[in-house]
Amino acid sequence: MAGPNLKTPPNYAGPEFEIIREGLRRGYHEDDQQVIKRLLAAWQADRTNRITAWNVQKGIEARAAEEADQARRLREEEEEMLANEEAERELRETEKKKPKMNTFTPGASVADILVHPPSQFALQKLSTFDYVELWYFSLAGRLDAAKHHDRSQADDTFGISKVDDHLTIRSIASVRASCNALPDHELSFSKFLKAKNCFLEHTKKANWPASNLDALAKFFWFLETHPSLQLPLGEKIILTYTSRVRHDWHRELKAGRGYDISIINNHLLNMVTQDIEGHDNDRIKSKASNPNKPTHDF
């Protein structure tokens, strides 16, 4: 639409304006030229007002267009910034998932003695605060883990494990128990003592609560020095008590009914003693009456 400043004035001297000129001549008592000038002046004043209004409107439209364009640019910049942040976040997540090789301590050398670590299965049990046999921390258990280490390293198979009522997918090596594992009460007492030291060391690395670690250390110490060891079947009695109580302790902790394992329950220990001695007496009687029949220890 053309602006008012481009319009030309009408020809007020023409015959189509005669009636208007006649009315003005009579009204203002002016001649024809004076009336035409009056008409042109009125038209020019109106033109000036129209040009002013036109310019104001165009200014408003220009500012609105500029504001809209600025809002569009800001929106595009914000969208671009968000897209860049998302891309950077995805890149960081991708970098986190990439395997990374740890660095080493300058000047540090390999240890004098290389100690085989426990199996992934045993360490996984510690990480979830579950019961695991001390055998896994004995020399036999660690050698068994080393024997199967290369096989598990090449095995990418995964299995399903249940942790606190939740099913999780883990490598088979971390959920598969060793077929050679022995319960605590079947260890020799000397192997038990060495295994519990390794066990306590790895429970610290697994970030068990300090109070639980202290209670376990006292538990083992009290049993290691308990007077019951002076009995003929003392070692088997202590190992059996250890096995049963550690099982129960973990079960009760999971159920929210934990207790101080370091407090030796003499009544329970006496029951274990009677059970072991009774079983041994039965074994001796059975052997005496049937010398050719094989017997099995508890």
**8-state DSSP, 178:** P
The pTM assigned to this predicted structure is: 0.58
Q: In the block, which residue shows the tokens 């979830």?
A: 128
Mean pLDDT by 10 residues, the chain (298 residues): 72 88 86 88 89 90 92 93 92 86 86 83 92 94 81 53 53 71 93 94 93 96 94 93 95 94 95 90 73 57
CA angle 254, 259, 260 (to 5 degrees): 130
Of 265, 104, 129, which is closest to residue 207 (Cα–Cα)? 129
- Which residues in 26-62 are b (16+ Cβ under 10 Å) and which e? eeeeeeeeebbebbeeeeeeeeeeeeeeeeeeeeeee
Q: What CA–CA distance (Å, rounded) separates 194 from 176?
A: 24
Q: How far is CA 13 from CA 18, 30, 60, 260, in A?
A: 8, 14, 38, 119
Q: CA-CA-CA-CA torsion for 244, 250, 252, 258, nearest 10 degrees?
A: 110
Of 222, 230, 143, which is closest to residue 181 (Cα–Cα)? 143
> Residue 289: is it exposed, middle or buried by C-beta count within 10 angstroms (0-12/13-18/19+)?
exposed
Q: CA-CA-CA-CA torsion for 54, 55, 56, 61, nearest 10 degrees?
A: 90
Q: In the block, which residue shows the tokens 């023409």?
A: 14
**8-state DSSP, 294:** -
Q: What CA–CA distance (Å, rounded) separates 8 from 66?
A: 32
pLDDT at residue 127, as a whole number: 92
Token code pair at residue 148? 């199967």
Evaluate whether 159 touches 172 at the Cβ level (below 8 Å): yes
Residues 6+ apart with CB under 8 A from 129: 206, 208, 250, 253, 254
Of 48, 24, 27, 47, which is closest to residue 37 (Cα–Cα)? 24
> Following DSSP, what letter does each residue of 145-176 receive, concatenated?
HHHTHHHHHT---EEEEEETTEEEEEEHHHHP
Of 186, 159, 151, 153, which is closest to residue 175 (Cα–Cα)? 159
Q: What CA–CA distance (Å, rounded) separates 138 from 116?
A: 10
Q: What CA–CA distance (Å, rounded) separates 154 from 164?
A: 29
